Structure 1
């Protein structure tokens, strides 16, 4: 009994299955790469926003420190002025 026609059918089926699996694997790899690129881009965007936010926060903190120093100076000057005025009264 000759089994080569059946073997040819099986070989063709195995080859087609292997090609389909290879295509599926390539598709998954491509999707994984796209997802990884998307994630990396989103992480960069978030890091940039975070850096900008921290820089803005630092500027605001520095401005608050300057205003506090200015107010302290005004308060000290007022106290000196009060003591001079009270001393001459």
Structure 2
């Protein structure tokens, strides 16, 4: 009878070892799968982040280029206004004349009249 008990116990122990080994292998596989999944997700996030940073850099460069162009256009406009319109300054003269400078030449205007349509 004790031999039968020993055989049953040995069989139980062996089955238990096999079940534990299978469980350990299953856990190892799940851990590897999880690690692989995490690495893949981290790679995807890093790629999206790199793409986002590249797009941000491109946009910042474009904004800087447009700001420089606008600044140059504004400067050109001011130069054109200066040339076309001249610089007018109200003089505190006794005759009330208005001095206008156009392209470096000074003109005096003593009388104003409304433009005819």
Report which of the two has the higher share of strand.
2
Residues 40-78 of structure 1 show CA distances to partners (whole Å, capped at 9, x for unaligned) of 001101110110111011001100100000000000111
Give 1:13 shift.
0.2
Give 1:86 shift.
3.0
Aligned position for 1:43: 42
TM-score (norm. length: structure 1)? 0.91
Unaligned runs of 5+ in 2: 87-101, 108-117
1:21 aligns with 2:14: no
TM-score (norm. length: structure 2)? 0.71
Aligned position for 2:66: 67
Give 1:85 shift.
2.2
Aligned residue pairs total 88
Report which of the two has the higher share of helix.
1
